[in-house]
């Protein structure tokens, strides 16, 4: 029985999420997760996924993609992350992730958005609900003094 329950949680994280949380989780995945993303694909991926400013057809100014799988990112909400700035919902990853940051360079309205991409590796700060990411807060560069 335990194995079956774990199987459901891996394949259907929505089983633990409420309807609003499930929507936010799916939106987070659409907007911020793209395994194999490259800085030259910003125009195509932003357009294909119809990523715009919320409730608008205005091109999003900046969008960050995490070049990793959903399971790896989901773990940040649990053991692969730590609380961030005393927030109950924000978690910072224990390890850095490869990121592609897409910045608008031309045209203001979808579907004519054009982006310039840049690549970096940073720690991510995400908001979590019920153990799943629902919002990309920011990326951070962490300096260890030890």
Hey, which residues are catalytic here? Answer: 32, 135
DSSP lists the bridge partners of residue 62 as 103
Output the six-digit token pair for 22: 């499930």
Which residue pairs from 45-50 have beta carbons closer than 8 angstroms and sit at least 24 positions apart in sequence? 45/102, 46/102, 46/113, 46/115, 47/110, 47/111, 47/113, 50/110
Under the phi-then-psi rule, with left for phi > 0, alpha for psi from -120 to 50, and beta for the rest, what region is 131? left
**Are the CB atoms for 117 and 41 separated by under 8 Å?**
yes
Q: Round to whole Å and give the CA distance between 23 and 139.
A: 23
Among 116, 101, 108, 99, CA closest to 43: 116
């Amino acid at each position: 029985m335990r194995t079956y329950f774990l199987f459901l949680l891996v394949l259907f994280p929505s089983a633990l999420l409420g309807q609003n949380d499930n929507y936010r989780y799916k939106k987070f995945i659409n907007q911020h997760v793209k395994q194999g993303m490259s800085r030259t694909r910003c125009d195509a991926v932003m357009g294909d996924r119809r990523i715009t400013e919320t409730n608008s057809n205005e091109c999003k100014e900046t969008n960050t993609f995490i070049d990793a799988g959903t399971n790896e990112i989901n773990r940040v909400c649990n053991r692969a992350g730590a609380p961030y700035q005393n927030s109950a919902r924000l978690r910072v990853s224990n390890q850095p992730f490869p990121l592609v940051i897409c910045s608008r360079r031309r045209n203001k309205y979808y579907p004519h958005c054009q982006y310039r991409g840049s690549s970096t590796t940073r720690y991510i700060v995400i908001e979590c609900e019920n153990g799943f990411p629902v919002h990309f807060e920011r990326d951070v560069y962490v300096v260890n003094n030890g």
